[in-house]
Structure 1
Amino acid sequence: MRGSVKTMLALAAAMTVQLAGAQEPAQPATQQLSPVERQIVAEIHAHAPQALELLRQSVLINSGTMNQAGVRAVGKLFRDQFDELGFKTRWIALPPEMQRAGHLLAELPANRDSRGKRLMLLGHLDTVFEPGNTTPAWEPQTEADGSVRRIKGQGVSDMKGGDVVIVEALRALKRVGALEGRRIAVMLTGDEEEAGNPKTVSRGDAVELAKRSDVALSFEGSITNKDGMAAATVGRRSTAFFELEVKGRQAHSMGVFGPGGYGAVYEAARILDAFRQQVVEPGLTFNPGVILGGTEVAFDDEHSRGTAFGKTNVIANTVTVKGDLRYLDYPQRDRAQARMREIVAQSLPGASASINFRDSYPPMAVTPGNLKVLEQYSRASQDAGLGPIGAVPPESRGAGDIQFVAPFIDSLDGLGASGGGAHSPNESLEVASIERSAIRAALLIYRLTRQD
């Protein structure tokens, strides 16, 4: 059942408040865990150094999205881990013309005794750091006492740290005999940072896997909400685009506002300011990222750059605007697009305009099912003595792979390691967060795979 955006956001906010009030457990956390769960936690603690070494190995391999060989090499590193855990692995190649490396799929072999919820775990192998980037690949930050609490480097938190969390959570489950007979699949995509087109192809295998799963867990970096509370993602806004083309009557500038009309630039300004003032809803944003105007305009879509020519004594005849549009769900998209079209149609004298829309990433709506998974994740965290987990407002996160599968199954994102500065030379990861996130994830996976 899918409620309205307003209702679901209210539920998420209420859950955050409720969980924050439960921050202090009534008794020691270990008493909340079963004997097997305590073993799982102990295994993760015991093998924390190996987890950090796996992260180091993966980060030292450049895997910028366009570095296909590098993406495949990181995929091989993680494929070896899943092979050791008894997963059946395969590399999903994409058509050569898409210029993307492909994806890694690992699945536990199913049999007649397999049971529990069918889980889909999501991560990605690529980073935004292409070969030649000057950001250091691996830079431990040593404290005064000699300890290393943070690592700076290429993709440490977005999201090779999350990939390591997946492996370590599953490894702990394997060591205590908790993977046998469970239905778990892992997909690590090779082009999350710049998904190949058409997305029906680059995300087709993920969608098909979702259709035969019950719950999707994605391991993008965990974050802290505005209240300082650890938080996971129950919703993400779509990524979409708008293109505004405006035409005016070219004439001498002395005629502007009169016989010459208002021209393309004034018309574009009217439209954009009307969008700002009249297309207003919580969670809805639209950003005119590029605008070119004059009497001659050219824009190169492939390289996102353009040129414009004009003179101050000539009324401009052309304006091109390229923009970003983000919405919480399809009804909100439809309302926004309808109102934007109405505004565009109300042209100033001597001008006309047209607007086109193009969807990219679908929205991950906040649903009761997503909130239920969050509740179980928070309970696992509290039982382990790690505190509750709140909900991240959907407008606070960008696009991610989970959006392609969330329309089909209950989904939760943000289960990875904690860091900061993603996509920048200051990208970093808190070392201890690998262990925390692996414990939380392992307990959630353990509990979900024992539910029908």
Structure 2
Amino acid sequence: MTSLLKNLPSYDEARAALDRIDARQQDMVDTVIKWSRVNSGSGNPEGLDAMEALILEAFAPLGAEVELIDLKDGEAVNAKGEVVTVKNGRTIRLFKRPQANRKVLMTGHTDTVFAKDHPFQEPVWLDDNTLNGPGVADMKGGIIVILNALKAFEETPLAESVGWEILLSPDEETGSLASAPILAERAKTADIGLTYEPALADGTLAGARKGSGNFTMVVRGKAAHAGREFHVGRNAVVHLSKIIADLSALTDGRPELTVNPAVISGGVAPNVVPDMAWCRFNVRLKEPEDAKWFEAEVNTIVARYAAEDGYDVSLHGGINRPPKALSDANLKLMDAIKACGVDLGIKIDYVPTGGCCEGNNLAAAGLPNVDTLGVRGANIHSADEFVCVDSFAERAKLSALILLAFASGQLDDVVKAKTA
């Protein structure tokens, strides 16, 4: 495999910049501990504002232009089955040299899945190389990788040939519903995309990804006394249970398509026929065309059960992340990143995954991207989340070398394949 590092026209400066990343290792660890202590759950606007301030302070030395983009309000179904307005935060956009011929889009998110009243709030050392804490891997650690890769890149003369842009969203963990249009718009202006979800603990990266959609099914019936007027009532819980069975039966209706009814609620007391019940469910799909099939099947289910006397059935939500298939340009980018890993002594492998992220959005907009370039870690979305701290310098070097190779024209075959 050809060495991308040795073929850099500014090899000595590049090598020195990469080596200096090691000197910032402890600072990276100290930063992730500090940031982990700031709760920035998706529904915590104060915490997201606090993270925004910390990030802008940390990235200020790069001299990038800053745009803070207010996201549109969204909708959600509350515990009463009512549609309510959800306030979204701001996307942080940082960019430099937007007129350059080569452009890279780097994306990530400031939110975590941990609410401000969640018991998991404090980072704890598990051993000398393993730090457990909210967001340490997903993805405050990833943002720190972006920062330090760019610091190294900007220390080299090759930086002048690349325009880079960073988008950090506050709603990725809830599906990027409000930030998706911004991701799509900015993806169309770039040549390659780099996203900083965590790699697996062994360093494996994600390749193809399934698509995903989140839905809420709400059933309304008629309340009645369970003893005196049972037959007058319309039991929303029973009606919903039949719908759930039909939804679950859609699993494997297309290859590798899965439906997961996950959260249900309904009723007020055992002696009352329940007049409302709801279910939140998720679908994962492998092929883009599966979305139309699934939506048609679900709409048929809704119509069938809504037609029964005394019941109202409504569906909310949708498929928000299309499947991420691997285009020729994406495969070439993956190969180039693997070559960068060889130069640095990092083994890079890729595996398909049922999970999804902003990489799905970028791919749907036509941007070849690799989306697990953050720290090595595991157990994300749980109180057991951890980061392997030695991966900070390791992954910052990897991204810095990707940028250097891109700047020197060694990834131009990716760009050509993208436009072919």
Looking at structure 2, the residues matched to 67 and 278 of structure 1 have their Cα atoms a distance apart, in angstroms, of: 35
**What is the aligned partner in structure 1 of residue 217 from structure 2?**
243
How far does the alpha carbon of each residue in 1:280-327 deviate from its partner, in whole angstroms, 9 at most, with x for none?
A: 1333111222446xxxxxxxxxxxxx4255669x9x998654422232
Structure 1 position 427, deviation (Å):
1.9
Residues 126, 192 of structure 1: 8 Å contact kept: yes
Rg larger in structure: 1
| Structure 2 residue aligned with 1:87 | 64
Q: Does the CA-based 8 Å contact 1:120-1:186 persist in structure 2?
A: yes
- Aligned counterpart for 1:333 among listed residues 283, 286, 291: 291
Does 203-212 or 184-193 show the bigger shift? 203-212
1:442 shift after superposition: 1.5
Is the aligned partner of 1:167 residue 2:125? no
1:67 and 2:44 are equivalent in the alignment: yes
Deviation at 1:92, TM superposition (A): 2.4
1:444 aligns with 2:402: yes
The equivalences for 1:41-56 within 5 A come to 41-56=18-33
Q: Deviation of residue 245 (structure 1)?
A: 4.1
Equivalent residues in 2 for 1:271-290, closer than 5 Å: 272-277=244-249, 279-280=251-252, 281-290=254-263
Identity %: 22
Q: 1:406 aligns with which of 329, 354, 363?
A: 363
Counterpart AA for 2:206:
A
Residue 191 (structure 1) aligned with residue 171 (structure 2): yes
Mapped partners of 2:86, 2:217: distance in 1: 24
TM-score (norm 1): 0.73
Distance, in Å, in 2 between the alignment partners of 1:210 and 1:437 is 23
1:182 aligned residue (152, 162, 172): 162
Q: CA offset at residue 246 of structure 1?
A: 8.4
| Aligned counterparts of 1:131 and 1:429: Cα–Cα separation in 2 | 21
Q: 3-state SS of the aligned residue for 1:282?
A: coil
Indicate the SS of the match to 2:205. strand
Structure 2-normalised TM-score?
0.77
Cα separation, partners in 2 of 1:57 and 1:267, compared to 1, 3 Å:
closer
Aligned partner of 2:129 in structure 1 is 149
User: What's the CA shift string for 1:33-65, capped at 9, x where partnerless?
Assistant: 642553343122232222223323322333233
Q: Which secondary structure does the structure 1 equivalent of 2:364 belong to?
A: coil
* Cα separation, 1, equivalents of 2:92 and 2:267: 41
Letter in 2 for 1:283: E
The question of whether the paired residues in 2 share the 8 Å contact of 1:279 and 1:339 is answered with: no
Partner amino acid for 1:127?
Answer: T
Q: Distance in 2 between matches of 1:267 and 1:374?
A: 48
Distance, in Å, in 2 between the alignment partners of 1:424 and 1:407 is: 29
Say how many residue pairs are matched: 392
* SS in structure 2 at match of 1:156: coil
Gap change, CA 1:180 and 1:244, over 3 Å in 2: same
Q: Aligned-pair distance for 1:445?
A: 2.1
1:297 aligned residue = none
Partner of residue 232, structure 1: 206
Q: Is the 8 A contact 1:128 1:423 kept in 2?
A: yes
Question: What amino acid does structure 2 have at the position aligned with 1:331?
Answer: E
1:106 to 86, 91, 94: 94
CA contact (8 A) 1:234 1:412 kept: no
Letter of the aligned partner of 1:42 in structure 2? D
Shift of 1:415: 0.8
Tell me the CA shift for residue 438 of structure 1. 1.3
> By how many angstroms is 1:195 displaced?
6.0
Question: For residue 137 of structure 1, what is the amino acid of its counterpart?
Answer: E
Asked whether 1:208 is paired with 2:174, we answer: no
The structural deviation recorded for 1:218 is 0.9
Contact 1:119 1:215 (8 Å CA) reproduced: yes
Contact map agreement 1:246 1:267 (CA 8 A) in 2: no
Answer whether contact 2:210 2:287 (CA < 8 A) is retained: no
Which of 326, 343, 363 in structure 2 is aligned with 1:367?
326
In terms of mean alpha carbon deviation, does 275-284 or 369-378 score higher? 275-284
Residue 129 (structure 1) aligns with: 114
Give the RMSD, CA atoms, in angstroms.
3.9
**Offset, 1:120:** 0.8
- Provide the rounded CA distance (Å) in 1 between the counterparts of 2:382 and 2:156: 39
Q: CA 1:346–1:418 in structure 2 vs 1: closer, same or farther (change >3 Å)? A: same
Kindly indicate whether the alpha-carbon contact (under 8 Å) linking 2:302 and 2:315 is maintained by their aligned counterparts in 1: no
Q: Measure, in 2, the Cα distance between the counterparts of 1:38 and 1:328.
A: 41
Q: Answer yes or no: is the 8 Å Cα contact 1:378–1:390 preserved in 2.
A: no
Gaps of 5+ in 1: 1-24, 143-147, 254-258, 293-305
Q: Residue type matched to 2:96 in 1?
A: L
Distance 2:113 2:248 in 1: 31
Task: Answer yes or no: is the 8 Å Cα contact 1:166–1:438 preserved in 2.
Answer: yes
Q: Which amino acid aligns with 1:105?
A: R
Match of 1:57 in 2: 34
Partner of 1:145: none
1-structure distance, mates of 2:199, 2:317 = 30
